[in-house]
Amino acid sequence: MYDVGWLAWLGLAPLLVILNGKSPKHGFMLLFASSIVFYPGILSWLLKVPGYTLLHHVILAIYIGLYFGFFGLIFCFVAKRSGVTAAFLSTPFLWVSLEYIRSNMSFLATPWGMLAHSQYTYPWVIQVASITGSYGVSFLIVLANTALAAIIYPATLQLQKNKNALNSPPSRLGKILLVTVATALIVTTLIYGHIIISQPVEAQRIKVSVVQGNIEQAKKWDRRYAKFIMKRYADLSLEASKDAPSLIIWPETTTPWSIMQDPRLHGEVKGIARTAGTYLLLGSSQRQKFRSQGSKKGTYYNSAFLIDPGKEMHTYQKYDKIRLFPFGEYLPMKETIPWSFINIPDVSGYEPGEEYTVFELPNFRFGVTICWENVFPDLVRQFVKRGAQFIVNITNEAWFGRTAAPYQFVSMSVFRAVENRVSVVRATNTGVSCFINPYGRITGRVEKNGKDIFIPGYLTQEIPLSQGKTFYTLHGDIFVYICLILTAVVMLSSALNPREKAIRR
């Protein structure tokens, strides 16, 4: 994976230059086509998922392309009706609004490839997310690109044969306003980031160990490998216990089948926790993902269990996954949409959990997200709002092979740490298992010979326990709601403008 996040600060400017002066229809087609070429590459790892085909990837690309197409359409519509300056000034608000809608569109939510995620290695830049959420970082990036486009656009006019009011640059006042506001906000953000990360994290600390078993996906649900799987995790956990952690964490669906269905397996897990002498958090599920229900119907949960080494056999705390993965853990709207028409089977049949469980131990509290739940900012903040002092993300990314998927998930987890100013601990089957501090720095990961995926191992670190709540934790996406309102106002104002006023800059 290549981290070239600095390119995001100027990569959008040429597209805005090209877009300016186009009709709404041409603007839609230009951005739609650009997305069709660009976005499937970001999610190419989905092609590793069983049953996911090239046809499905094309459909996904078309769906996501519509959001970018609407950006081009609305930008050009505003430029035509309200002037080029209004279009440029409204661009960051429009971009954030569409990112938010795309990220929260029910079972069609696709919160990947946000501009903010490109900045996960720049702690100074991303601290503003504790106020605005990650969308504030996207806003700054688009604002910087818009200011750059306004600066370079006059030079491009010299190359254009057909000059008209629609492909003229923003007004001089509009350009000054864009550059001034962009500079002021970026400088303020960097100063704020510097001040925040310069402060030491003064808080109670606990030791936590993450265990990465590196079990091949083909073996995870094969009972012939059950003893091998449990021995792998038992051995690694006993090694980790030598560091005297307060908590050992295993990944999502660690056990070969559910500990709720097999008392013997439950007893074995309890024995490992007792031998290690510490609490054990693990994922255990009743059914494999991406699997057709066939004739076997039932109610299944993807769960996290906290095993107490000192209490009775069946004493545990449990969290059932709330945000299920569509088309992998359940089939959305299957009563009304004939998914079989595009070769999507009736999968898994999981049921969502209903409670944001905060696990309670004598000296600390934490929340658990399972698999892709960590990509949803509001879901994570609900745990912190309810008292979680750090977040654990347990996941199994063996499905995606040696691709960029694990690193994309890490980049998004960085923002969950910053937004809520809490540590995030990731425990994955094949990697990347890591620790992220409240400032978004990755402070350690399970590694071997320079590799951090598809290797077994464990890592123990001390993490701080959060004592307060950020503005974002308390109030959520207020910044986004402002962007949505302003975008709606600009669109309505443009719709009410007569066409002949388009010549205004």
> In the structure, what pLDDT confidence band is assigned to residue 499 with cuts at 50, 70 and 90?
low
pLDDT > 50? residue 502: no
Average pLDDT over residues 391-412: 94
| Start-end of H helices in 104-225 | 123-126, 129-132, 134-157, 172-198, 217-220
Alpha-carbon gap, residue 490 to 494, rounded angstroms: 6
Q: Are 40 and 404 in contact (CB under 8 A)?
A: no
The better pLDDT of the pair 502, 61 is held by: 61
What is the pLDDT at residue 270? 94
Average pLDDT over residues 480-485: 98
Q: 226 and 178, same structural domain?
A: no
What is the pLDDT at residue 505? 45
Quote the number of domains for the chain.
2
Poorest-confidence range of 169-173, 255-259, 331-335? Answer: 169-173
Q: 251 and 217, same structural domain?
A: yes
pLDDT > 80? residue 388: yes
> How is the beta sheet containing 442-445 ordered, strand by strand?
358-360, 365-370, 390-395, 423-428, 434-436, 442-445
Alpha-carbon gap, residue 138 to 159, rounded angstroms: 31
- Please check whether residue 471 lies inside any domain of the structure: no
Q: 216 and 142, same structural domain?
A: no
Average pLDDT score over the chain: 91
Q: Are 232 and 264 in contact (CB under 8 A)?
A: no
What is the pLDDT at residue 81? 92
- Active-site annotation holds for 268: no
pLDDT tens profile 140-157: 999 999 999 999 887 766
pLDDT > 60? residue 231: yes
Strand, coil or helix: 208: strand
For 427-477, the DSSP string reads: EESSS--EEE-TTS-EEEE--BTTB-SS--EEEEEEEEPP-S--HHHHH-S
Residue 274: give the domain boundaries: 205-466
Q: 168 and 152, same structural domain?
A: yes
Given 321, 329, 385, 434, which residue is catalytic? 321
Q: 281 and 154, same structural domain?
A: no
User: CA angle, corner 405, sides to 399 and 406, nearest 5?
Assistant: 90
Given 22, 76, 80, 252, which residue is catalytic? 252
Q: 213 and 120, same structural domain?
A: no
pLDDT tens profile 152-182: 887 766 555 555 555 677 888 989 999 999 9
Q: 235 and 160, same structural domain?
A: no
What is the pLDDT at residue 166? 55
pLDDT tens profile 269-321: 999 999 999 999 999 986 666 566 554 566 788 999 999 998 765 668 999 99
> In the structure, what pLDDT confidence band is assigned to residue 504 with cuts at 50, 70 and 90?
very low
Q: 191 and 67, same structural domain?
A: yes
- Please check whether residue 48 lies inside any domain of the structure: yes
Q: 209 and 185, same structural domain?
A: no
- Please check whether residue 472 lies inside any domain of the structure: no
Average pLDDT over residues 417-429: 97
- Active-site annotation holds for 321: yes
Q: 496 and 398, same structural domain?
A: no
Residues constituting the chain: 505
- Per the confidence metrics, is the pTM higher than 0.85? yes
Q: 77 and 60, same structural domain?
A: yes
What is the pLDDT at residue 236? 98
Given 22, 220, 329, 371, which residue is catalytic? 371
Torsion 387-390-392-393 (CA) sign = positive
- Please check whether residue 499 lies inside any domain of the structure: yes
Q: 101 and 30, same structural domain?
A: yes
Average pLDDT over residues 98-109: 96
Which of 394, 389, 392, 462 is closest to 420 using CA atoms? Answer: 389
- Active-site annotation holds for 371: yes
- Please check whether residue 113 lies inside any domain of the structure: yes
**Domain containing residue 356: CATH number:** 3.60.110.10
Cis preceding-peptide flag for 432 (omega within 30 of 0): yes
